[in-house]
Amino acid sequence: MPGRRHAIRGAGLLVSVALTVLGLLLVTFLIGRVVPIDPVISVVGDRVSADTYARVRQELGLDLPLWQQFLRYVGDVLQGDFGTSVLTSRPVLEDILRVFPATLELATAALVVGVLLGIPAGVMAAVHRGRWPDHLIRVIGLIGHSIPIFWLGLMALLVFYARLDWAPGPGRVDVFYEGLVDPVTGIITVDALLAGESDVFWNALHHLVLPAGILGLYSVAYIARMTRSFMLDQLRQEYITTARVKGMSEARVIWRHALGNIAVPLTTVVALSYASLLEGSVLTETVFAWPGLGLYITNSLLSADMNAVLGGTLVVGAVFIGLNLLSDLLYRLLDPRAR
């Protein structure tokens, strides 16, 4: 019977994921049909003859009923065919595979900042509830959620790059180091280490600090707020009072027992934060000229390249669905009560 229950739950999970993906495909398909951009004109230009226009429209399947267009769209996506980019004249999937590692690198670095600063900040805010450390951390979290990221990025470039010269300019590396490392993984810091190019590695790391710090501020705000909430709930539990009565040190009570008991929900928070960083790096990449998926989508949108825009949107949605699924599985794995 337990095996049957697991099979039923697994089948239900697969159906849920399939319906979510189908909904994502439907939304992106409808977006591509309602935007005031003619895909035929994007391909052939606006000075073609009526015969050429009709022929290209038929080749793209735009003369078919809407439901047939959607089925054709789903079939193409399932085969990895997102169409051809008007901007680069290459398959959209090929472009996405080329630019996505840069976004992955930036989001991962921002997540590291969020975890290393957000969790301790949330713990300290809970421990010192109602006192100045709590107020300070909550104000920082409010700033992180309130200030537009593009404005914060511009101010960071103005102060730390243009005025103080503490940070390098936009881009992943200086112009001098471009092309010195072959893209094996697409993550330039890793590729530089694999190639033994320490100068390229340190230059890329310096370029990564400022955008990752700006993007990571939003992760710090979210993780610190959730950590504070979880810790406040744990610090009110009877086992914490019992541990203190037994004479355990306050550091052990807080960092081992209380923090250890919020590890499961905190894992879910970190996974969701990672998904948000991957999908929310568009403005950061635009400000810092970071050649990732966000900048690719922005440039494609400005060029009316809807194949690229929709392909990038699908990838972002798929990543978010995947990380949500991973967080759910981790929750069930780490917490026996959720099984």
Q: What pLDDT shows up at residue 326?
A: 81
Per-residue pLDDT band at 335 (split at 50, 70, 90):
low
Quick one: pLDDT at residue 307?
83
Q: What is the pLDDT of residue 228?
A: 92
Note the pLDDT of residue 102: 92
Is the pLDDT assigned to residue 91 strictly greater than 80?
Answer: yes
Residue 337 has pLDDT above 60, yes or no: no
Q: Which of 22-36, 180-194, 295-309 has the lowest average pLDDT?
A: 22-36
Mean pLDDT of the chain: 83
pLDDT at 1 over 60: no
- The yes-or-no verdict on residue 274 having pLDDT over 70 is yes
Q: What are the residue ranges spanned by the domains of the chain?
A: 2-78, 98-338
Residue percentage of the chain with pLDDT more than 70: 92
- Residue 205: its pLDDT value, please? 92
Q: What is the pLDDT of residues 296-324, one digit of tens each?
A: 888 888 777 888 888 888 888 888 888 88
Can you give the pLDDT at residue 281? 76
Tens-digit pLDDT profile for residues 128-157: 888 888 888 888 888 877 888 888 888 988
In the predicted structure, residue 71 carries a pLDDT above the cut 70? yes
Long-range CB pairs of 323-332, under 8 A, 24+ apart, other chains included: 323/271, 323/272, 323/274, 323/275, 323/278, 324/271, 324/272, 324/275, 325/13, 325/17, 326/271, 327/267, 327/268, 327/271, 327/272, 328/268, 330/267, 330/268, 330/271, 331/264, 331/265, 331/267, 331/268
pLDDT at 10: 67
The pLDDT assigned to 339 comes to: 54
- 203-243 residue pLDDT tens: 999 999 999 999 888 889 889 999 999 999 888 888 888 88
The pLDDT of residue 56 is above 70: yes
Per CATH, domain 98-338 is 3.90.480.20: no
Which pLDDT score, from 0 to 100, does residue 108 have?
92
Residue 80 has a pLDDT of 83
In three-state form (DSSP H/G/I as H, E/B as E, the rest C), the secondary structure along the chain is CHHHHHHHHHHHHHHHHHHHHHHHHHHHHHHHHHCCCCHHHHHHCCCCCHHHHHHHHHHCCCCCCHHHHHHHHHHHHHCCCCCECCCCCCEHHHHHHHHHHHHHHHHHHHHHHHHHHHHHHHHHHHHCCCCHHHHHHHHHHHHHHHCCHHHHHHHHHHHHHHHCCCCCCCCCCCHHHCCCCCCCCCCHHHHHHHHCCHHHHHHHHHHHHHHHHHHHHHHHHHHHHHHHHHHHHHHCCHHHHHHHHCCCCHHHHHHHHHHHHCHHHHHHHHHHHHHHHHHCCHHHHHHCCCCCHHHHHHHHHHCCCHHHHHHHHHHHHHHHHHHHHHHHHHHHHHCHHHC
338 falls in which pLDDT band (50, 70, 90)? low
Q: Which residue has the higher pLDDT, 193 or 142?
A: 193
pLDDT at position 207: 92
38-51 average pLDDT score: 71
